[in-house]
Amino acid sequence: MGEVIKLPMGESDQLIWRSNESGIFSVKGAYKALIKDTLIAPELLWTQIWKAPIHERSKFFIWKVARDLLPCGKRLSSIFPTNMRCIFCEDEEDSIIHLFLKCPLARKCWFSTQWGIRSDCLNLNNPKELVLWLLSKSPGQVSPPDNDLFTQVAVSLCFTLWNARNACFHEGILASPEVILCKALTEVQEWRISCSKSISETTDLPLNLSLPSQASVRAFTDAAVRGSSAFTATIILDSEGQILGAATFKFQVSSPLEAEAHGLLSALDFCASSGWTEPISNACTMDTLVGINETRGIGVKN
């Protein structure tokens, strides 16, 4: 035993907090360690959302999509009894994936974009995967220079589809794919213009919404009346049927005829402000057209 070499005791043992790289315990570190298994998505996704080149309102919207917080389908039925079928087609169960990708109305909107996207062919199984695709740098059907534009249009389209669903659910107003897509594209263009330092920087936006200074265009307008409120929508097409722009308006009216008149007046004002002096209208009656034509001094063809 006497030949056994005695080793020095060294330093005393120290307690360390293994969940922190520094080994030092903190309340913040303990909280992160406690909730790390309950997080439904990696922090990278939230960073992508907040840094995305989209409107702040749209960021909050897709954050709610990724967290599966939108009140629809099973989530909505858990709050109060409701029909769980799609409000638009009534063919499938109401869900985020169906509403934004699989519903015939949504599919028409996606295919009508400049990328001709077949949303029904996308293999996305949950809201988180949908958001990752919306923010993807290479979504597969978009060329590299269009990455930011694709994200802006795609997110705006989802947001517009959600608002259209709510309008149909609460007010019984069913919007067409053309109106939905036009509104989404218009919001993107308005946001890009607001972010630009000058109007000249926005003339080359590849949104198929560039407005000619002098042109004969076709204006489609319609009105829906609910109580004393009227909602009108206008779509502007060029001679080749390409969508140039869209707008929606709300008025207080006393009759459907008054709503139609307001809708046509709004369409004419929209055309005049865009430089279209000879709009061809597809709305209302000839008496209404003639009366408005005489008072506004704008050439209107029916």
Q: Which of 7-11, 52-56, 149-153, 269-273 has the lowest mean pLDDT?
A: 7-11
pTM as predicted: 0.57
Higher pLDDT, 155 or 246: 155
pLDDT band, residue 279 (cuts 50/70/90): low
pLDDT band, residue 287 (cuts 50/70/90): very low
For 157-164, what is the mean pLDDT?
96
Is residue 301's pLDDT more than 50? no
Mean pLDDT of all residues in the chain?
77
Q: Do 281 and 301 touch, CB atoms closer than 8 A?
A: yes
pLDDT band, residue 268 (cuts 50/70/90): confident
Instruction: Show the tokens assigned to 132.
Output: 């990752």
- The per-residue pLDDT for range 244-254, each reduced to its tens digit, is 777 777 788 88
Q: Are strands 243-252 and 280-282 parallel, antiparallel or unpaired?
A: unpaired
Q: Do 145 and 137 touch, CB atoms closer than 8 A?
A: no
Domains and CATH numbers, the chain: 43-196 (no CATH), 210-302 (3.30.420.10)
For 159-165, what is the mean pLDDT?
95
- The per-residue pLDDT for range 86-111, each reduced to its tens digit, is 989 988 888 999 999 999 999 999 99
3-state secondary structure the chain: CCCCCCCCCCCCCCCCCCCCCCCCCCHHHHHHHHHCCCCCCCHHHHHHHHHCCCCHHHHHHHHHHHCCCCCCHHHHHCCCCCCCECCCCCCCECCHHHHHHHCHHHHHHHHHCCCCCCHHHCCCCCHHHHHHHHCCCCCCCCCHHHHHHHHHHHHHHHHHHHHHHHHHHHHCCCCCHHHHHHHHHHHHHHHHHHHCCCHHHHCCCCCCCCCCCCCCCEEEEEEEEECCEEEEEEEEECCCCCEEEEEEEEEECCCHHHHHHHHHHHHHHHHHHCCCCCCEEECCCHHHHHHHHHHHCCCCEC
**CA dist., res. 15 & res. 297, Å (int):** 86
Is residue 275's pLDDT more than 60? yes
pLDDT band, residue 180 (cuts 50/70/90): very high
Q: Please, what is the end-to-end C-alpha distance for the chain in angstroms?
A: 115
- According to the per-residue pLDDT averaged within each range, which of 17-21, 207-211, 255-259 is highest? 255-259
Is residue 276's pLDDT more than 70? no
Kindly give, in sequence order, each residue whose CB lies less than 8 Å from that of residue 232, ignoring residues fewer than 6 positions away: 221, 222, 223, 224, 248, 249, 250, 251, 259, 262, 263, 266, 267
pLDDT band, residue 39 (cuts 50/70/90): low
Amino acid identity at 61: F
- The per-residue pLDDT for range 53-85, each reduced to its tens digit, is 999 999 999 999 999 888 887 777 766 666 788
pLDDT band, residue 209 (cuts 50/70/90): very low
Give CA separation, 43 vs 52, 134, 155, 161, in Å: 14, 17, 20, 27
**CA dist., res. 240 & res. 243, Å (int):** 9
Higher pLDDT, 137 or 274: 274
- The per-residue pLDDT for range 9-23, each reduced to its tens digit, is 667 777 888 777 778
Q: Which of 168-172, 241-245, 251-255 has the lowest mean pLDDT?
A: 241-245
**CA dist., res. 180 & res. 174, Å (int):** 10
Query: Bridge-partner residues for 232, per DSSP?
Result: 223, 249
pLDDT band, residue 270 (cuts 50/70/90): confident
- According to the per-residue pLDDT averaged within each range, which of 36-50, 87-101, 183-197 is highest? 87-101
Is residue 197's pLDDT more than 50? no
